[in-house]
């Protein structure tokens, strides 16, 4: 089983950016823990981060062509603005779980609307960096 994990804009700044909201772990720290979890599950994992919308779209497309079984995505700020990412998720028709470290429903009004969630299998938010492991375990169970 192959799972692609995509992180969007500003996620490379974890550990520096608003630690009161996002914690002190870096994206590399989170990815290391996720790779460990994927090893326990016997799942092949690939991670990707970009601050560029088109690169994220291209990576979603590549998941289809490279025969990934599912996607975990944190579109970050693109959650609320990117029709292109939404359309790419819809186009590849792979099971996709949207994750957010914070509870977007409890944030500013403009952050409460997700354009991407309606084309995803599920959305998990509010559990900090644990959302990635929760999503991975849930997606693997779903795919079985």
CATH value at residue 18: 3.40.50.9100
Model pLDDT, residue 20: 84
- Beta bridge partners, 68, equal none
Number of domains in the chain: 1
pLDDT at 108 over 90: no
Task: Give the pLDDT mean for 83-100.
Answer: 98
pLDDT at 122 over 90: yes
* Short-list 136, 62, 43, CA closest to 97: 136
Point out the residues that are catalytic: 22, 100
Task: Give the pLDDT mean for 70-93.
Answer: 97
pTM of the full structure: 0.94
- Alpha carbon distance 56, 3 (integer Å): 15
Model pLDDT, residue 34: 98
DSSP 47-106: EEE-S-HHHHHHHHHHHHHTT-SEEEEE-GGGGGT-HHHHHHHHHHT--EEEEESS-GGG
User: Domain limits at 109?
Assistant: 2-143
């Amino acid at each position: 089983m192959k799972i692609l994990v995509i992180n969007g804009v500003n996620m490379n700044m974890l550990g520096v950016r608003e630690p009161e909201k996002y914690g002190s772990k870096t994206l590399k720290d989170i990815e290391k823990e996720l790779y460990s979890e994927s090893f326990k599950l016997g799942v092949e994992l690939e991670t990707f981060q970009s601050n560029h919308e088109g690169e994220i779209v291209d990576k979603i497309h590549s998941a289809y062509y490279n025969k990934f079984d599912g996607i975990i995505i944190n579109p970050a700020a693109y959650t609320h603005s990117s029709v292109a990412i939404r359309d790419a998720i819809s186009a590849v028709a792979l099971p996709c779980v949207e994750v957010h470290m914070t509870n977007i429903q409890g944030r500013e009004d403009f952050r409460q609307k997700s354009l991407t969630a309606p084309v995803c299998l599920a959305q998990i938010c509010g559990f900090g960096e644990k959302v990635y492991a929760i999503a991975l375990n849930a997606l693997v169970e779903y795919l079985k």
